[in-house]
Structure 1
Amino acid sequence: MTQFLVTKFIKDSENINDLKVREKYGALSSFVGIACNIILFIFKLIVGTLSNSISITSDAFNNLADCATSIITLFGYKLASKPADKEHPFGHGRMEYILSLILAIIILLVGYELIKSSIMELINPSKISFSYVSMFVLIFSILMKIWMSTFNKKLGNKLNNSAMLATSKDSLNDVIATSATLVSLIVSGFSDLMIDGIMGVVVSIFVLKSGFEIIKDTVDDLLGQGLDKETVEIIKKHINDEPMVIGYHDLMVHNYGPGKHFGSAHIEVRSDEDLLIAHDAIDLIEKKIQEETGILMSFHIDPINMDDKETKYYYDKVKSIVRAIDKDTHLHDFRIVTGDTHTNLIFDLVVPFDIKLKDDEIIEIINNGLKDEPIKIFISPTIENKYV
């Protein structure tokens, strides 16, 4: 069914980095959400009112909130697909993340109202009128929400779209909530147990949990997460496959929304290489990475003097010291300034995030490793963390 809808309503559906295509995916997801949730809201409101069930009525308004978020999301995809402009040169892709936050806040508000009503039902319980029509409506709702969750998960994974994945997660929570409501209806209909308020609280907790989880995931995206390992390996492979490249450092990628990634790195080549040939080789690497990952890379060439014996000696010496601290450390931009009484070693040192030592402790270890050199050594390191 998902593939049928995609093929029917989205032309060029595989070109998922195109903003117009992403907008159409978003519109499809939103229209499906609006249609399904309006149907469920109407049916549940009717049976909830007739059966005098707070949990069914609460579940109905939960669906109405889902409908509202689909409408908000529909307009949001329009904004996210806007091309870059003077004020926003990197585009409007992060609107998808902002939409997810709005969606989460609405879910939390609905959850708060549901739990408040459910507590009142616990204090003043009322008898539920059981009917097979009500039971059928709830079973139908569960099946529809399972399909909606699967539908949005498939689209969200395909597009790496946090808003769609958030909608999928919300639909799964709706399945659990409606299942609890169904249990309440059956138990209350065939016994004297008044569990409608309890099940209403259960529904509310799942709704609130969903909202908090969506906020956490979206905040992670807004703060900036590291690239997935697979993409990092693709970038590294293209760099390392070029024979002219002897190393690289300061690889970083910035995310301005799905399909909007910009990256940079310093590429090390021999200082005696032809600059025009090196530049052409680096341009080709950038194009290959963009074609395979969609990331627009910008590389800076660092010329490395491979023939100076003194530089190589101190580079190897410092490298052995820092590798003894942690095998994941990495030296780059290493150079020396010699004098009559001392030698300065200037370099950048990349350390992993989980290293236990402070910067001054690392510097002290390096100084201790160089104290027996025949000439006084001063070091000037810039210590930084990996970006990917």
Structure 2
Amino acid sequence: MSRMLASPERFAVAALDALLANIAILDSGGTIIAVNRAWERFAYTQGAADNGLGVNYLAICEATQGEDRAYATDIATDIRAVLAGRAEEGETEYPCDLADGPHYYLARVSGFVQDDERFAVVAHEDITRRKRAELQVHGLNQTLELRVRERSGQLEAQNAELARVGHILEDNNAALIESNLQLAQFAHVASHDLQEPLRIMGTYSDMLRHRYNDVLDSRGQKYLNHMTEQVARARQMVRDVLDYSSVKGQDRSEVLELKTFWNEAVHFLTWPPDARLSCGQLPDVRANPAQIRQLLANLLGNSVKFRADRPLELSLSEVRRAEGMTELVLRDNGIGIGAEYREQVFAMFQRLHSRAAFGARGSGGNGIGLAVCKRIVEEHGGSIWIGEPSSVGGSSGGTAIHFTLPLA
């Protein structure tokens, strides 16, 4: 048997009492004529003597003083507007200090007409949870904004400092470029100017030997020989300085077959008859031809110059490739370089052995050959170092010079 539908009026009072919001109905003059149970409970918990029926709610709002006056005035304004028909509804959020702490309420005012009279419904809804969450989010946002502003200020300061340092570096780089250019020009001019007095000294020493060799005793001839040797050494040092200063500025690079340059360097050097040379499969590189030619000539020349008292064995091979660079190693079985000198040998005029130790092979050099090699390799974006010696052919010890060059 189906239940007959009941009219809404039957449940009106029960539904009103079931609502959680504190609700009061006001007549056209603002007097409270009905409240729900939530309103009554709230009134009693706040120490009110009654539920407020018959009290003019507008008068209560307008009599409010202190911090709550502005909120009460807003609620009263909404009630008057609804009762006068100027507004459909109004809302006001306000704080309220209760026994268990601060709360937040939303006062909603709406109106209806019955029996040709306008009434107002005032509902106070507890929105403490939502408001606390909003305040927490607002506080977090403020904290975040503050941190963002602080961080932005720090970044601006850092950017300003970076810009300042960048300008300083640009100025320093410009000054360094100018200084290097002037230094190269000075080295070039000074070296050429030094060549002339050295040439004259060499000429006069040759004249002395040619014209007065029979007059000089053994000691005089020894002095003359020393003078000739030192003049030749000075002229070689001048040429070495010119070679070192000329490395900078030679930017022309092209694809080179390293094996061809190896063969060229081997061809133009004088090797002992029992020397054994080997060259592995070498990659093509992008480099300056003149500088690569000088690099290999210096490295191979050192192997010849500083060989040990055994048949010379020499090999050039590729070790690995990485990040657009090839690593090569030149190994020999010569006298070797001590671990404590592996950085020192790449500085200018650093010699580890006396010239007397290489009497039959010429001088031990001026200590600039590996400095030129280092500069050439670094000009091409590579690096050069002395590795651990290992066996070459059937011999052990010697020197292993590693260097990197850009692949073609």
More strand as a share of residues:
2
Could you tell me the TM-score, scaled by structure 2's length?
0.19
More helix as a share of residues:
1
Could you tell me the TM-score, scaled by structure 1's length?
0.20
Name which structure has the greater RCO, CA cutoff 8 Å, separation 6+.
Answer: 1
